[in-house]
Amino acid sequence: MPFIIVFTLRDAANNDATTEVKIPDSFTLSDYTEFGAGMATAINDFVRGRIMKAELCLPIDVSGFTGNTISILSDVEEIGAFEFVTAQGNRVKLNIPGCPDGVTLPNSNTLDEADAQVATIITAMEDGLAVTGGTASPCDIGGDDIVDTLFARENFRSSGTRKK
């Protein structure tokens, strides 16, 4: 059964939202934390909000990010919506809150896959991240490897939480 890493992001309005990535259970604990810290960096480079935490049962250290200034334009209800497909054709969604405005193609809500931060997210999901024990590559809930991107676009969705 794959392990799930959950990332929590906060925007300027103090709203929180989460997104998650699944990894096969064939790695060591240090590999998971290494992957989680790397993936958190990829997401942090992509979003304008602040990554508050990343969790794999045991918390992953993202203290390096929490000192960042939250952009006044950050909004966790702006979603970077990615949908991938596995080798067996199963679809896997990755909805990252805090999507910045400047990464879409002109006159479109399609994310620019040539953009460095967007491309990094896609590479992390399709090809994985190099960790000490090899390459940790995301999968679906059944452990099937993600091999391609169906779409990447900006969506808007209620975060579902209100702290004020």
Q: Could you list the residues that contact another protein (CB under 8 A)?
A: 34, 37-38, 41-42, 45, 64, 105, 112-114, 116, 119-120, 122-124, 126-131, 148
Torsion 37-43-46-50 (CA) sign: negative
Nearer to another protein, 15 or 38 (CB): 38
Kindly state the smallest distance separating residue 33's Cβ from another protein, in Å: 12
Nearer to another protein, 17 or 121 (CB): 121
Kindly state the smallest distance separating residue 77's Cβ from another protein, in Å: 27
Torsion 103-106-111-114 (CA) sign: negative
Distance CA 70, CA 30 (A): 29
**Residue 70, C-beta contacts closer than 8 angstroms, at least 6 positions apart:** 10, 11, 12, 48, 49, 50
Nearer to another protein, 13 or 147 (CB): 147
Nearer to another protein, 97 or 138 (CB): 138
- HSE of 41 in the Cβ direction (CA atoms, 13 Å)? 10
Distance CA 2, CA 79 (A): 24
Kindly state the smallest distance separating residue 104's Cβ from another protein, in Å: 12
Kindly state the smallest distance separating residue 17's Cβ from another protein, in Å: 23
